Chains A and B, each alone.
Chain A
Protein backbone atom coordinates (compact mmCIF):
# COMPACT_ATOMS: atom_id res chain seq x y z
CA UNK A 1 0.00 0.00 0.00
CA UNK A 2 2.74 2.44 0.94
CA UNK A 3 4.60 1.61 -2.27
CA UNK A 4 1.51 2.49 -4.30
CA UNK A 5 1.17 5.83 -2.50
CA UNK A 6 4.87 6.61 -3.10
CA UNK A 7 4.57 5.78 -6.81
CA UNK A 8 1.45 7.91 -7.22
CA UNK A 9 3.11 10.83 -5.41
CA UNK A 10 6.09 10.56 -7.77
CA UNK A 11 3.74 10.53 -10.79
CA UNK A 12 1.91 13.64 -9.56
CA UNK A 13 5.23 15.45 -9.04
CA UNK A 14 6.35 14.39 -12.53
CA UNK A 15 3.22 15.87 -14.08
CA UNK A 16 3.84 19.08 -12.11
CA UNK A 17 7.32 19.24 -13.64
CA UNK A 18 5.82 18.67 -17.11
CA UNK A 19 3.43 21.57 -16.63
CA UNK A 20 6.34 23.74 -15.44
CA UNK A 21 7.69 23.43 -19.01
CA UNK A 22 4.57 25.28 -20.25
CA UNK A 23 5.07 27.95 -17.58
CA UNK A 24 8.58 28.62 -18.87
CA UNK A 25 7.88 28.79 -22.59
CA UNK A 26 4.19 29.62 -22.97
CA UNK A 27 3.75 32.04 -25.89
CA UNK A 28 1.39 34.40 -24.06
CA UNK A 29 0.62 35.43 -20.49
CA UNK A 30 -2.75 33.54 -20.16
CA UNK A 31 -0.90 30.33 -21.09
CA UNK A 32 1.34 30.75 -18.07
CA UNK A 33 -1.66 31.61 -15.90
CA UNK A 34 -3.46 28.41 -16.92
CA UNK A 35 -0.36 26.32 -16.28
CA UNK A 36 0.13 27.89 -12.84
CA UNK A 37 -3.49 27.13 -11.94
CA UNK A 38 -2.91 23.51 -12.96
CA UNK A 39 0.19 23.40 -10.75
CA UNK A 40 -1.87 24.69 -7.80
CA UNK A 41 -4.49 21.99 -8.31
CA UNK A 42 -1.84 19.27 -8.51
CA UNK A 43 -0.14 20.60 -5.35
CA UNK A 44 -3.40 19.93 -3.50
CA UNK A 45 -3.43 16.27 -4.54
CA UNK A 46 0.28 15.92 -3.70
CA UNK A 47 -0.38 17.22 -0.18
CA UNK A 48 -3.30 14.78 0.21
CA UNK A 49 -0.99 11.88 -0.71
CA UNK A 50 1.72 13.20 1.67
CA UNK A 51 -0.81 13.21 4.52
CA UNK A 52 -1.36 9.49 3.92
CA UNK A 53 2.39 8.88 3.88
CA UNK A 54 3.08 10.76 7.12
CA UNK A 55 0.04 9.09 8.77
CA UNK A 56 -1.40 12.31 10.15
CA UNK A 57 -4.63 14.24 9.57
CA UNK A 58 -3.23 17.71 10.23
CA UNK A 59 -2.29 18.30 6.60
CA UNK A 60 -5.98 18.18 5.64
CA UNK A 61 -6.47 21.81 6.71
CA UNK A 62 -3.57 22.84 4.48
CA UNK A 63 -5.59 21.54 1.52
CA UNK A 64 -8.41 24.00 2.21
CA UNK A 65 -5.96 26.85 2.68
CA UNK A 66 -4.15 26.17 -0.60
CA UNK A 67 -7.45 25.79 -2.48
CA UNK A 68 -8.71 29.17 -1.27
CA UNK A 69 -5.41 30.97 -1.94
CA UNK A 70 -5.14 29.42 -5.42
CA UNK A 71 -8.67 30.54 -6.31
CA UNK A 72 -8.02 34.11 -5.12
CA UNK A 73 -4.75 34.20 -7.05
CA UNK A 74 -6.43 32.98 -10.24
CA UNK A 75 -9.25 35.53 -10.00
CA UNK A 76 -6.93 38.46 -9.30
CA UNK A 77 -4.46 37.51 -12.03
CA UNK A 78 -7.18 37.12 -14.65
CA UNK A 79 -8.69 40.46 -13.65
CA UNK A 80 -5.25 42.05 -13.94
CA UNK A 81 -4.79 40.61 -17.43
CA UNK A 82 -8.25 41.73 -18.50
CA UNK A 83 -8.30 45.28 -17.15
CA UNK A 84 -4.81 46.21 -16.04
CA UNK A 85 -5.76 46.83 -12.42
CA UNK A 86 -7.02 44.66 -9.60
CA UNK A 87 -8.72 46.99 -7.11
CA UNK A 88 -10.47 49.77 -8.96
CA UNK A 89 -11.73 53.02 -7.46
CA UNK A 90 -14.57 54.15 -9.65
CA UNK A 91 -16.18 57.07 -7.86
CA UNK A 92 -18.26 58.39 -10.75
CA UNK A 93 -20.76 55.60 -10.69
Chain B
Protein backbone atom coordinates (compact mmCIF):
# COMPACT_ATOMS: atom_id res chain seq x y z
CA UNK B 1 0.00 0.00 0.00
CA UNK B 2 2.81 2.37 0.86
CA UNK B 3 4.55 1.57 -2.42
CA UNK B 4 1.45 2.47 -4.46
CA UNK B 5 1.06 5.72 -2.51
CA UNK B 6 4.71 6.59 -3.09
CA UNK B 7 4.41 5.89 -6.81
CA UNK B 8 1.32 8.13 -7.06
CA UNK B 9 2.96 11.00 -5.17
CA UNK B 10 6.28 10.84 -7.03
CA UNK B 11 4.59 10.62 -10.46
CA UNK B 12 2.33 13.62 -9.80
CA UNK B 13 5.12 15.81 -8.43
CA UNK B 14 7.45 14.79 -11.27
CA UNK B 15 4.88 15.78 -13.93
CA UNK B 16 4.39 19.09 -12.13
CA UNK B 17 8.14 19.73 -12.05
CA UNK B 18 8.45 19.06 -15.78
CA UNK B 19 5.65 21.52 -16.58
CA UNK B 20 7.13 24.14 -14.23
CA UNK B 21 10.47 23.89 -16.00
CA UNK B 22 8.75 24.13 -19.40
CA UNK B 23 7.10 27.32 -18.14
CA UNK B 24 10.45 28.83 -17.21
CA UNK B 25 12.00 27.94 -20.58
CA UNK B 26 8.96 29.34 -22.43
CA UNK B 27 8.99 32.64 -20.56
CA UNK B 28 12.72 33.07 -21.12
CA UNK B 29 12.90 31.96 -24.76
CA UNK B 30 9.68 32.92 -26.60
CA UNK B 31 9.88 36.12 -28.66
CA UNK B 32 6.67 37.95 -27.80
CA UNK B 33 4.34 39.09 -25.02
CA UNK B 34 1.42 37.02 -26.30
CA UNK B 35 3.38 33.78 -26.70
CA UNK B 36 4.88 34.32 -23.24
CA UNK B 37 1.38 34.78 -21.82
CA UNK B 38 0.38 31.52 -23.51
CA UNK B 39 3.28 29.67 -21.88
CA UNK B 40 2.74 31.24 -18.47
CA UNK B 41 -1.00 30.71 -18.29
CA UNK B 42 -1.35 27.15 -19.58
CA UNK B 43 1.68 25.13 -18.60
CA UNK B 44 2.12 26.88 -15.23
CA UNK B 45 -1.50 26.02 -14.40
CA UNK B 46 -1.02 22.35 -15.22
CA UNK B 47 2.27 22.22 -13.29
CA UNK B 48 0.90 23.70 -10.09
CA UNK B 49 -2.25 21.55 -10.38
CA UNK B 50 -0.17 18.39 -10.60
CA UNK B 51 2.08 19.36 -7.69
CA UNK B 52 -0.94 20.18 -5.51
CA UNK B 53 -2.49 16.82 -6.47
CA UNK B 54 0.69 15.07 -5.33
CA UNK B 55 0.60 16.92 -2.00
CA UNK B 56 -3.09 16.02 -1.64
CA UNK B 57 -2.29 12.34 -2.18
CA UNK B 58 0.51 12.58 0.41
CA UNK B 59 -1.75 14.00 3.09
CA UNK B 60 -4.59 11.62 2.23
CA UNK B 61 -2.81 8.29 1.84
CA UNK B 62 0.09 8.61 4.27
CA UNK B 63 -1.26 10.77 7.08
CA UNK B 64 -5.04 10.14 6.83
CA UNK B 65 -5.85 13.81 6.48
CA UNK B 66 -8.38 14.45 3.70
CA UNK B 67 -7.84 18.17 3.19
CA UNK B 68 -10.83 19.84 1.57
CA UNK B 69 -9.12 23.22 1.39
CA UNK B 70 -6.41 21.79 -0.88
CA UNK B 71 -9.11 20.56 -3.28
CA UNK B 72 -10.69 24.01 -3.09
CA UNK B 73 -7.32 25.56 -3.95
CA UNK B 74 -6.97 23.26 -6.96
CA UNK B 75 -10.43 24.20 -8.27
CA UNK B 76 -9.79 27.92 -7.64
CA UNK B 77 -6.48 27.87 -9.52
CA UNK B 78 -8.03 25.88 -12.35
CA UNK B 79 -10.74 28.53 -12.77
CA UNK B 80 -8.81 31.75 -12.23
CA UNK B 81 -5.45 31.19 -13.91
CA UNK B 82 -6.71 31.16 -17.56
CA UNK B 83 -8.85 34.22 -16.75
CA UNK B 84 -5.71 36.01 -15.56
CA UNK B 85 -3.84 35.03 -18.71
CA UNK B 86 -6.64 36.31 -20.93
CA UNK B 87 -6.83 39.62 -19.01
CA UNK B 88 -3.08 40.14 -19.30
CA UNK B 89 -3.10 39.47 -23.03
CA UNK B 90 -5.97 41.90 -23.57
CA UNK B 91 -4.25 44.56 -21.47
CA UNK B 92 -1.08 44.11 -23.53
CA UNK B 93 -3.04 44.49 -26.78
CA UNK B 94 -4.94 47.56 -25.62
CA UNK B 95 -1.80 49.29 -24.34
CA UNK B 96 -0.26 48.95 -27.79
CA UNK B 97 2.40 46.24 -27.56
CA UNK B 98 3.33 45.11 -31.06
CA UNK B 99 3.46 41.36 -31.88
CA UNK B 100 6.58 39.96 -33.54
CA UNK B 101 7.17 39.87 -37.27
CA UNK B 102 6.45 36.14 -37.32
CA UNK B 103 2.76 36.73 -36.53
CA UNK B 104 0.51 35.90 -39.48
CA UNK B 105 -2.96 37.31 -38.74
CA UNK B 106 -4.55 39.86 -36.42
CA UNK B 107 -8.29 39.26 -36.04
CA UNK B 108 -8.79 41.51 -33.04
CA UNK B 109 -7.76 44.65 -34.97
CA UNK B 110 -10.97 44.83 -37.06
CA UNK B 111 -13.19 44.36 -34.01
CA UNK B 112 -11.33 47.06 -32.08
CA UNK B 113 -11.58 49.53 -35.01
CA UNK B 114 -15.30 48.80 -35.45
CA UNK B 115 -16.01 49.35 -31.74
CA UNK B 116 -14.00 52.59 -31.83
CA UNK B 117 -16.01 53.89 -34.83
CA UNK B 118 -19.30 53.03 -33.12
CA UNK B 119 -18.14 54.80 -30.00
CA UNK B 120 -17.25 57.93 -32.00
CA UNK B 121 -20.66 57.88 -33.74
CA UNK B 122 -22.42 57.56 -30.39
CA UNK B 123 -20.45 60.47 -29.00
CA UNK B 124 -21.44 62.65 -31.99
CA UNK B 125 -25.18 62.08 -31.54
A44-B77, A45-B51, A48-B52 are contacts. A81–B91 as well, Cβ < 8 Å? yes
List, in ascending order, chain A residues with CB within 8 A of B9's CB. 1
List, in ascending order, chain A residues with CB within 8 A of B73's CB. 44, 60, 63-64, 67
A32 → B minimal CB distance (Å) = 10
Indicate which residue in A8, A29, A34 contacts B13 across the interface (CB closer than 8 Å): A8
- Residues of B in contact, count (CB < 8 Å): 49
A22-B27, A31-B33, A45-B20 are contacts. A71–B80 as well, Cβ < 8 Å? yes
A67-B76, A71-B80 are contacts. A30–B33 as well, Cβ < 8 Å? yes
Convert B68-83 into 0s and 1s, putting 1 for each residue whose CB lies closer than 8 angstroms to a CB of A: 0110110011001101
Indicate which residue in A31, A42, A61, A68 contacts B48 across the interface (CB closer than 8 Å): A42
Chain A residues engaging chain B, CB cutoff 8 angstroms: 1, 4-5, 8, 11-12, 15, 18-19, 21-22, 28-31, 33-35, 37-38, 41-42, 44-45, 48-49, 51-52, 57, 60-61, 63-64, 67-68, 71, 74-75, 78-79, 81-82
Closest 6 CB pairs of A and B: A30-B92, A78-B91, A15-B24, A45-B51, A74-B84, A82-B91
A-B contact pairs, 11 of them (CB 8 A): A8-B17, A11-B17, A22-B27, A30-B97, A37-B40, A57-B59, A64-B69, A64-B76, A67-B76, A71-B80, A78-B88
